[in-house]
Structure 1
Amino acid sequence: MLRKWGVAAVTATTAALTVGLALGASAAVQPTFPSLPSIPPTAPSIDFPIPKPGPTGTVKPPVIDPIPPSGGPTRPPGAVQPILPRSVNVQLKVERDGRLTVREQIIVQAKQQMTRVAPLRIGDRVFTVRDARIEGHGTVDVTADAITIRVGEGASTVHYTVDGTIADGDDRQEFRWQPASGWDTKLALLRVSLLTPRPGRDFVCLAGQPGTNEVCDSALTDGGGILRVVQSDLDVGARVDLSAKLPAGLVPANARFDKATSTAFAVTPVSGAGLGLVALLLLGGFVFLWRARARDAKSLVADVEPVALVANDGGKAAFASPDGVLPGQAGTVLAERADEGAFAATIVDLAVRNYLWVTESSGDWQIVRRNPADDALNAYEHTVYATLLPEGTESVTLSALRGAPLDLAGARSALHADAVDRGWFVRRPDRVGHLAIAGAVILALGVIGTVVLALTGGPALLGIASALGGLGLFLGGRFVPVRTKRGSVLAQQVRGVALYLAGVQSDTVPTDRAPTEREVVFSRALPYAVALGESERWLSGFGPIDPAAVRWYATQDAEVAADQGKFADQVAAFVDSLSRVLTPPEKH
Structure 2
Amino acid sequence: MLAKWGIPAAALAACVLVGLASGAGAEEQPTLPSVPVPPSSVPTLEWPGTAPPSGDFGDLKPTRPSEPAESTGAGGPPVGHPLLPESVNVALKVERDGSLSVTEQVFVRARETMTRHAPLRIRAGDDRDRVFTIRDVEVTGNGTTEVTGDEFVMRLGEGATTVTYQVDGAVTDVAGHQEVRWQVASGWDTDVRLLRASFIAPAQPAAVVCLAGAFGTDSPCRSALADSSQVLRVVQEKLPAGQRVDLTVHLPAGTVGANARFDDIGTASAFALTTAGAMGLGALVLLLTGGFVVLWLARGRDARALAGAAGQVELLMTGDGGRVAFASPDGVLPGQVGTVVDERVDVADVTATVVDLAVRNYLSVRENGPAEWVLVRRNPPDAALTDYERAVYQQVLGDVAEVPLTALRVDVGAVRESLYTDVVKREWFARRPDHDRSLWSLVGVLLAVAGVAATVVLALTVGHALLGLALVVGGLGLALGARMMPARTRRGSVLVQQIRGLLNYLRTTEAAAIPAEDREMVLSRSLPYAVVLGEADGWIRRFAGLDAAADGTPGIYWYETGDPAGFPARFAAFLLALDGALGR
TM-score bucket of the superposed structures, by smaller chain: 0.5 to 0.7
Question: For residues 486-540 of structure 1, what are the alpha-carbon distances to aligned partners after superposition, in whole Å with 9 as ceiling and x for unaligned?
Answer: 54543332121122123223453356xxx6x776655432322332233455456
Q: Which residue of the partner structure matches residue 467 of structure 1?
A: 472
Q: Following the alignment from structure 2 to structure 1, what is the Cα–Cα distance between the partners of residues 417 and 426?
A: 14
**Alpha carbons 2:406, 2:581 under 8 Å: kept:** no
Q: Which residue of the partner structure matches residue 278 of structure 1?
A: 284
**Alpha carbons 2:367, 2:561 under 8 Å: kept:** yes
Question: Which 5+ residue runs of structure 2 have no aligned equivalent?
Answer: 1-25, 38-52, 59-73, 82-90, 103-118, 133-149, 151-167, 186-196, 214-223, 236-242, 253-259
Judging changes above 3 Å, is the alpha-carbon distance between structure 1 residues 458 and 296 closer, same or farther for their aligned structure 2 residues? same
**Alpha carbons 1:200, 1:246 under 8 Å: kept:** yes
Matches within 5 A, 1:16-95: 16-18=33-35, 41-42=55-56, 70-73=77-80, 91-92=93-94
- Secondary structure of the structure 2 residue equivalent to 1:123: strand
**Alpha carbons 1:176, 1:242 under 8 Å: kept:** no
**Alpha carbons 2:180, 2:251 under 8 Å: kept:** no
Q: Following the alignment from structure 1 to structure 2, what is the Cα–Cα distance between the partners of residues 554 and 92?
A: 101
CA RMSD between the two structures = 5.7
Q: Following the alignment from structure 2 to structure 1, what is the Cα–Cα distance between the partners of residues 311 and 400?
A: 44
Question: For residues 118-162 of structure 1, what are the alpha-carbon distances to aligned partners after superposition, in whole Å with 9 as ceiling and x for unaligned?
Answer: xx9723234499xxxxxxxxxxxxxxxx9xxxxxxxxxxx99951
Question: For residues 450-479 of structure 1, what are the alpha-carbon distances to aligned partners after superposition, in whole Å with 9 as ceiling and x for unaligned?
Answer: 111222326533322212211222232346
Q: Following the alignment from structure 2 to structure 1, what is the Cα–Cα distance between the partners of residues 75 and 554?
A: 118
Question: For residues 282-309 of structure 1, what are the alpha-carbon distances to aligned partners after superposition, in whole Å with 9 as ceiling and x for unaligned?
Answer: 2234445667788656655543245232
- Secondary structure of the structure 2 residue equivalent to 1:469: helix
Q: Which residue of the partner structure matches residue 437 of structure 1?
A: 442
Judging changes above 3 Å, is the alpha-carbon distance between structure 1 residues 192 and 502 closer, same or farther for their aligned structure 2 residues? same
Q: Following the alignment from structure 2 to structure 1, what is the Cα–Cα distance between the partners of residues 426 and 169?
A: 79
Partner residue of 2:349 out of 330, 342, 356: 342
Question: What letter corresponds to residue 444 of structure 2 in structure 1?
Answer: G
Q: Which residue of the partner structure matches residue 529 of structure 1?
A: 530
Q: Following the alignment from structure 2 to structure 1, what is the Cα–Cα distance between the partners of residues 169 and 298?
A: 64
Question: For residues 13-61 of structure 1, what are the alpha-carbon distances to aligned partners after superposition, in whole Å with 9 as ceiling and x for unaligned?
Answer: 75734499xxxxxxxxxxxxxxxxxx994459xxxxxxxxxxxxxxxxx
Q: Which residue of the partner structure matches residue 171 of structure 1?
A: none
Partner residue of 1:303 out of 302, 309, 312: 309
Identity among equivalent positions (%) equals 37
Q: Following the alignment from structure 1 to structure 2, what is the Cα–Cα distance between the partners of residues 244 and 432?
A: 55
Matches within 5 A, 1:79-478: 91-92=93-94, 102=98, 122-125=121-124, 126-127=129-130, 161-163=171-173, 176-177=181-182, 193=200, 197=206, 224=230, 226-227=232-233, 243-244=245-246, 260=266, 270-287=276-293, 299-300=305-306, 302-312=308-318, 317=324, 319-334=326-341, 337-360=344-367, 365-390=373-398, 392-396=399-403, 400-402=404-406, 408=412, 410-411=414-415, 414-415=418-419, 418-419=422-423, 422=426, 424=428, 428=433, 433-457=438-462, 459-478=464-483
- Secondary structure of the structure 1 residue equivalent to 2:460: helix
Judging changes above 3 Å, is the alpha-carbon distance between structure 1 residues 461 and 160 closer, same or farther for their aligned structure 2 residues? closer
Shift of 1:395: 0.5
Partner residue of 2:580 out of 553, 564, 584: 584
Question: What letter corresponds to residue 16 of structure 1 in structure 2?
Answer: P
Question: Which 5+ residue runs of structure 1 have no aligned equivalent?
Answer: 1-8, 21-38, 45-66, 75-88, 94-99, 107-119, 130-145, 147-157, 166-173, 181-189, 205-218, 230-240, 561-565
Shift of 1:345: 2.0
Question: What letter corresponds to residue 453 of structure 2 in structure 1?
Answer: I
Q: How many residues align?
A: 421
Question: For residues 212-242 of structure 1, what are the alpha-carbon distances to aligned partners after superposition, in whole Å with 9 as ceiling and x for unaligned?
Answer: xxxxxxx99966562499xxxxxxxxxxx99
Judging changes above 3 Å, is the alpha-carbon distance between structure 1 residues 455 and 547 closer, same or farther for their aligned structure 2 residues? farther
Q: Following the alignment from structure 1 to structure 2, what is the Cα–Cα distance between the partners of residues 547 and 295?
A: 47
TM-score normalised to the size of structure 1? 0.54
Q: Which residue of the partner structure matches residue 508 of structure 1?
A: 513
**Alpha carbons 1:519, 1:549 under 8 Å: kept:** no
Q: Following the alignment from structure 2 to structure 1, what is the Cα–Cα distance between the partners of residues 560 and 582?
A: 32
Judging changes above 3 Å, is the alpha-carbon distance between structure 1 residues 11 and 197 closer, same or farther for their aligned structure 2 residues? farther
Q: Following the alignment from structure 1 to structure 2, what is the Cα–Cα distance between the partners of residues 371 and 11?
A: 120
Judging changes above 3 Å, is the alpha-carbon distance between structure 1 residues 430 and 573 closer, same or farther for their aligned structure 2 residues? farther
Judging changes above 3 Å, is the alpha-carbon distance between structure 1 residues 505 and 178 closer, same or farther for their aligned structure 2 residues? same
Partner residue of 1:499 out of 489, 498, 504: 504
Judging changes above 3 Å, is the alpha-carbon distance between structure 1 residues 255 and 421 closer, same or farther for their aligned structure 2 residues? farther
Shift of 1:376: 3.8
Shift of 1:579: 0.8
- Secondary structure of the structure 1 residue equivalent to 2:374: strand
Q: Following the alignment from structure 1 to structure 2, what is the Cα–Cα distance between the partners of residues 583 and 358?
A: 14
**Alpha carbons 2:363, 2:379 under 8 Å: kept:** yes
Q: Following the alignment from structure 1 to structure 2, what is the Cα–Cα distance between the partners of residues 18 and 256?
A: 37
Judging changes above 3 Å, is the alpha-carbon distance between structure 1 residues 102 and 341 closer, same or farther for their aligned structure 2 residues? closer
Q: Following the alignment from structure 2 to structure 1, what is the Cα–Cα distance between the partners of residues 486 and 465?
A: 34
Shift of 1:448: 0.6
Judging changes above 3 Å, is the alpha-carbon distance between structure 1 residues 104 and 349 closer, same or farther for their aligned structure 2 residues? closer
Shift of 1:344: 2.8
- Secondary structure of the structure 2 residue equivalent to 1:16: coil
Judging changes above 3 Å, is the alpha-carbon distance between structure 1 residues 10 and 193 closer, same or farther for their aligned structure 2 residues? farther
**Alpha carbons 1:128, 1:162 under 8 Å: kept:** no
- Secondary structure of the structure 1 residue equivalent to 2:553: helix
Question: What letter corresponds to residue 162 of structure 1 in structure 2?
Answer: T
Judging changes above 3 Å, is the alpha-carbon distance between structure 1 residues 457 and 483 closer, same or farther for their aligned structure 2 residues? same
Shift of 1:104: 5.7
- Secondary structure of the structure 2 residue equivalent to 1:583: helix
Question: What letter corresponds to residue 123 of structure 1 in structure 2?
Answer: I
Q: Following the alignment from structure 2 to structure 1, what is the Cα–Cα distance between the partners of residues 122 and 268?
A: 6
Q: Following the alignment from structure 2 to structure 1, what is the Cα–Cα distance between the partners of residues 36 and 277?
A: 34
* Structure whose residues are more often helix by fraction: 2
Q: Following the alignment from structure 1 to structure 2, what is the Cα–Cα distance between the partners of residues 434 and 297?
A: 23
Q: Following the alignment from structure 1 to structure 2, what is the Cα–Cα distance between the partners of residues 201 and 339?
A: 74
**Alpha carbons 2:447, 2:475 under 8 Å: kept:** yes
**Alpha carbons 1:501, 1:534 under 8 Å: kept:** yes
Question: What letter corresponds to residue 325 of structure 1 in structure 2?
Answer: V
Q: Following the alignment from structure 2 to structure 1, what is the Cα–Cα distance between the partners of residues 99 and 461?
A: 36
Shift of 1:442: 0.6
Question: For residues 56-88 of structure 1, what are the alpha-carbon distances to aligned partners after superposition, in whole Å with 9 as ceiling and x for unaligned?
Answer: xxxxxxxxxxx99733259xxxxxxxxxxxxxx
Judging changes above 3 Å, is the alpha-carbon distance between structure 1 residues 200 and 420 closer, same or farther for their aligned structure 2 residues? same
Judging changes above 3 Å, is the alpha-carbon distance between structure 1 residues 430 and 127 closer, same or farther for their aligned structure 2 residues? closer
- Secondary structure of the structure 2 residue equivalent to 1:323: helix
